[in-house]
Amino acid sequence: MRKLRQLNNSYGDDKVIDACSIFGAMNTAGKRFSGESVIKAIANMHDRGNGLGGGFAVYGLYPEHADLYAFHIMFLDNEDKQETEGFLRKHFTVIREEEVPTRSTPAIKNTPLVWRYFLDVPQNLPENLSIDDYIVAKVMEINTGSNNSFVFSSGKNMAVFKGVGYPEELAEYFRLEEYQGYLWTAHGRFPTNTVAWWGGAHPFSILDWTVIHNGEISSYGINRRFLEQYGYQCTMQTDTEVIAYAVDLLMRQHNLPLEITAKVVAAPFWDEIERMPPKEQKLMRALRQVYSSLLLNGPFAVIIARQGEMIGLTDRIRLRPLTVGEKGDMLYLSSEESAIRLICPDLDKSWIPMGGEPVIGRLKKGPNPQDITGGERLSAGKSV
């Protein structure tokens, strides 16, 4: 007898598509490596995307300009580019500027202009304004301006490369096999309720924070309104953008440790809090009350990165998949274990983390100054 499920699945395909692919690889000793293996891994999850977005974040790739802020900016045309460059020269010292190298790739069409600028910050900032706050304010000013320019990467010694296409096609277009970094993340997009355009591809970034995401943030509206009180402006037309700003607010501005930040965005259920010891219960109640508007509702798996650190986190009941693998100094995070084992078949160990519990990879020690700058000099982390 014909099975009911075949009415909607005439090919008999039993693969479960949970939308979007995410992948991260970090050398916790700080050794830089080519992105070829990461490109191969994300391409292995090709069927999770639909060609409407792909991207990569790379840390440690600009050692010759490690002390400068690297702005990657998209422009619609040369007129927008000239206007934005005037803004940059007014508010920064432009040390170097160049078009991001690309190659002709048949699948990548209707491309914007993509340039990178290595910037130094003026010395005469107001006393109550930090350099990072200055950078965030200027990024928001450009992204909300009248001209069609978007800063999609603004950290030191790191960068985002993204656009409309499958991730392996974007890697070919941006010639990513020519770069090296000690930490790479990659995303293949399957947009569901947001538009597909170059700025809306993942990763999303502010300063050296980057976020790639599989899932849906149904709390986007209240998350966005809360963040706007602190000067963040959501301009990329997709829900994931709020995660990058939330992490920057909680960890940089409010000085919360990563483990506590995870308990804000993926907060324990109230009945779970009630079973905690009194001291922990008091803390969790306070977090739920103060930061209730930053709780992320909906299914999600994310990889969050910054200098010296890579974090994997899922929603509280693991409605989106995340697998962890370790081999020597290498830490891998992926939507599918198959992608990890494709490039590292003999893992030392692999596991699936608990919902709402972060997996943290940190640099074991400070690498050579020419490799990276910034980041915490901490030991490698595991599931917390």
Q: Which residues are catalytic?
A: 20
Is residue 144 classed exposed, middle or buried when 0-12, 13-18 and 19+ CB atoms within 10 A define those classes?
Answer: exposed
Dmax over CA atoms of the chain, in Å, equals: 78
| Residue 304: CA count within 13 A, CB half-sphere | 27
Residues contacting residue 6 through CB under 8 Å, at least 6 positions apart:
12
The residue with tokens 């699948």 is 107
Residue in the block written with tokens 């000239």: 82
| Residue 98 dihedral angles phi and psi, to the nearest 5° | -165, 155
DSSP for 98-143 reads EEPP----TT--SPPEEEEEEEE--S---TT--HHHHHHHHHHHHH
DSSP, collapsed to helix, strand or coil, labels residue 75 as: strand
| CA-closest candidate to residue 257, choices 366, 358, 147, 109 | 358
CA distance 382 to 384: 6
